[in-house]
């Protein structure tokens, strides 16, 4: 006699865990019921996870490309979407689902879907929301690869217009009625750390029948929850702070269940940028320490930013935690902290000398890592004009505020005093 298809249980279904003889019939409620009113710190450690049949205390890695069905009827029911269950890891995977559910809980989202990288996540969002003849409005202050991705979509008839992140009139003027499908913004932005008024942009987008997509990579849900401010979709490069130790690639998209199921899931399913079970497992470990890391790194970033602002070889520091930052008051209202990323301009007597001075700071570092990645517990530094934004035209870089003397830093967990001493090696040699 075969088990009916609709009674199938999966490894993380509490119903799958038998009750031990002599221990009564009580069973813990599912995680989403048990953790309904807990803090973000508790969600970061426990959300999304219920032990399986073995009672494991740590999340398991399901390294399997496919999953077995009870019988032909059960297989048909799962493929038809009539019963819950796993079919193929390109579609869904138990370990990946725990990561998605945990991040959704942290962001306050109805649903999360993942991808193999942050850029794969943004690519999927663009594919899910646009078609030939459609239009995007984006802030100029975005990751250089995002600009290149939007340029690729031009060959498919999707155009992008770039505006000043803080100029709401420019945002509205750029909207093309009947064509603009969404507004896209990073906040804080890369590398300028400019902050967008998410609530105002959401209201503007909705007034014109568009959506607001926010890249929340720099702030993370610890410091900012864009969906609560009116955004429709949130994207993450999980490679950065969600992992936190520079180990794996990953991306995530969060939003309403209707958008995720009807528009985004088909794109991810059929284009195949799946997050691996192993990477999801690593990311789960990263999420457990996310609140502690982000707050400690933010405190250190503020200390380094203050030191840099007082340095004679530094022309300007870009960090939302400084009163000199143009969106300082907005950041105080919109975020619960200022984040680990800052940028600063090294002085120079000409563009060539300015670049030489900036490169000298990079080359003189003995503690700070020279890498374009960020989000690690190890502090990193890069020269955006020649790395992350090097493929942009000089005019586009200038419009985005990326100069030859600008350096971007992502502050880690080292002593702020050691970071400042490392920067001093190069700054002390600057010619200005």
Give yes or no: residues 91 and 239 share one domain: yes
Domain with 347 in it? 291-428
* Residue 253 belongs to some domain of the structure: yes
Q: What pLDDT is stored for residue 422 in this prediction?
A: 98
Give yes or no: residues 279 and 295 share one domain: no
Residues 273 and 120 sit within 8 Å (Cβ to Cβ): yes
Q: What pLDDT is stored for residue 9 in this prediction?
A: 44
Q: Please confirm whether the linkage preceding 191 is cis (ω < 30° from 0).
A: yes
pLDDT in tens, 127-156: 999 999 999 999 999 998 999 999 999 999
Phi-psi region of 83 (alpha: psi -120 to 50; beta: other; left: phi over 0): beta
Which among 120, 340, 336 is positioned nearest to 228, based on CA atoms?
336
Q: What pLDDT is stored for residue 399 in this prediction?
A: 82
What span, in angstroms and rounded, lies between the C-alpha atoms of 388 and 155?
Answer: 23
Give yes or no: residues 300 and 246 share one domain: no
Residue finishing a domain among 234, 261, 286: 286
Domain count, the chain: 2
Burial degree of 258 (CB within 10 A; 0-12, 13-18, 19+): exposed
Give yes or no: residues 76 and 178 share one domain: yes
Which among 95, 102, 89, 83 is positioned nearest to 52, based on CA atoms?
95
Q: What pLDDT is stored for residue 26 in this prediction?
A: 58
Give yes or no: residues 252 and 355 share one domain: no
* Residue 225 belongs to some domain of the structure: yes
DSSP 5: G
Give yes or no: residues 190 and 94 share one domain: yes
| First-to-last C-alpha distance (Å) of the chain | 84
pLDDT in tens, 10-33: 445 444 444 444 444 456 889 988
What span, in angstroms and rounded, lies between the C-alpha atoms of 51 and 112?
Answer: 21
What span, in angstroms and rounded, lies between the C-alpha atoms of 226 and 181?
Answer: 18
The C-alpha torsion from 121 through 122 and 128 to 131, rounded to 10°, is -150
Q: What pLDDT is stored for residue 393 in this prediction?
A: 85
- CATH, residue 341: 3.90.1150.10
Residue finishing a domain among 286, 320, 349: 286
Q: What pLDDT is stored for residue 1 in this prediction?
A: 37
Q: What pLDDT is stored for residue 4 in this prediction?
A: 36
Q: Which residues of the chain have pLDDT under 50?
A: 1-11, 13-25
Which among 289, 277, 288 is positioned nearest to 114, based on CA atoms?
277
Q: What are the angstrom distances between the C-alpha of 74 and each of 2, 53, 330?
A: 10, 20, 53
- Residues 6 or more apart whose CB falls under 8 angstroms from that of 25 comprise 19
* Residue 17 belongs to some domain of the structure: no
- In the chain, how long is the greatest CA-to-CA distance? 84
Residue finishing a domain among 226, 260, 286: 286
What span, in angstroms and rounded, lies between the C-alpha atoms of 426 and 424?
Answer: 5
* Residue 9 belongs to some domain of the structure: no
Give yes or no: residues 37 and 175 share one domain: yes
- CATH, residue 90: 3.40.640.10
The C-alpha torsion from 277 through 376 and 214 to 261, rounded to 10°, is 0
Give yes or no: residues 242 and 223 share one domain: yes
* Residue 11 belongs to some domain of the structure: no
* Residue 3 belongs to some domain of the structure: no
Give yes or no: residues 63 and 203 share one domain: yes
What span, in angstroms and rounded, lies between the C-alpha atoms of 236 and 251?
Answer: 6
């Amino acid at each position: 006699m075969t088990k009916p298809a609709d009674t199938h249980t999966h490894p993380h279904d509490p119903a799958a865990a038998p009750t031990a003889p002599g221990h009564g019939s009580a069973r813990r409620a599912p995680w989403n019921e048990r953790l309904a009113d807990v803090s973000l710190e508790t969600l970061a450690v426990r959300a999304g996870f219920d032990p399986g049949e073995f009672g494991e205390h740590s999340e398991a890695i399901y390294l399997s490309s496919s999953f077995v069905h009870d019988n032909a009827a059960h297989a048909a029911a799962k493929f038809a979407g009539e019963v819950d269950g796993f079919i193929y890891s390109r579609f869904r995977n138990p370990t990946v689902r725990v990561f998605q559910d945990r991040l959704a809980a942290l962001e306050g989202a109805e649903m999360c879907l993942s991808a193999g990288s942050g850029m794969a996540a943004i690519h999927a969002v663009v594919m899910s929301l646009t078609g030939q003849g459609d239009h995007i409005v984006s802030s100029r202050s975005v990751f250089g690869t995002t600009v290149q991705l939007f340029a690729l979509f031009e060959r498919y008839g999707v155009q992008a217009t770039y505006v000043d992140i803080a100029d709401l009139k420019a945002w509205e003027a750029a909207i093309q009625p009947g064509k603009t499908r969404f507004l896209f913004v990073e906040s804080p932005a890369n590398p300028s750390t400019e902050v967008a008024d998410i609530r105002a942009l959401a209201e503007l987008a909705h007034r014109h029948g568009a959506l607001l997509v926010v890249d929340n990579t720099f702030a993370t849900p610890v410091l900012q929850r864009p969906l609560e401010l009116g955004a429709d979709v949130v994207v993450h490069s999980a490679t950065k702070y969600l992992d936190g130790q520079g180990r794996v690639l990953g991306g995530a998209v969060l939003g309403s269940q209707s958008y995720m199921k009807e528009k985004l899931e088909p794109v991810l399913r059929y284009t195949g940028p799946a997050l691996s079970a192993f990477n999801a497992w690593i990311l789960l470990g990263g999420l457990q320490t996310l609140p502690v890391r982000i707050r400690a790194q933010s405190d250190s970033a503020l200390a380094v930013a203050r030191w840099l602002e007082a340095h004679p070889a530094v022309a300007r520091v870009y960090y939302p935690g400084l009163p000199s930052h143009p969106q300082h008051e907005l950041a105080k209202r919109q975020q619960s902290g200022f984040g680990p990323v800052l940028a600063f301009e090294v002085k120079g007597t000409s563009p060539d000398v300015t670049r030489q001075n900036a490169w000298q700071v990079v080359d003189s570092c003995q503690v700070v890592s020279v890498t374009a990645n960020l989000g690690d517990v190890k502090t990193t530094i890069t020269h955006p004009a020649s790395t992350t934004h090097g493929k942009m035209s000089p005019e586009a870089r200038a419009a985005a505020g990326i100069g030859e003397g600008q350096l971007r830093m992502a502050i880690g967990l080292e002593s702020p005093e050691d970071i400042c001493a490392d920067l001093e090696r190069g700054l002390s040699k600057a010619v200005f």
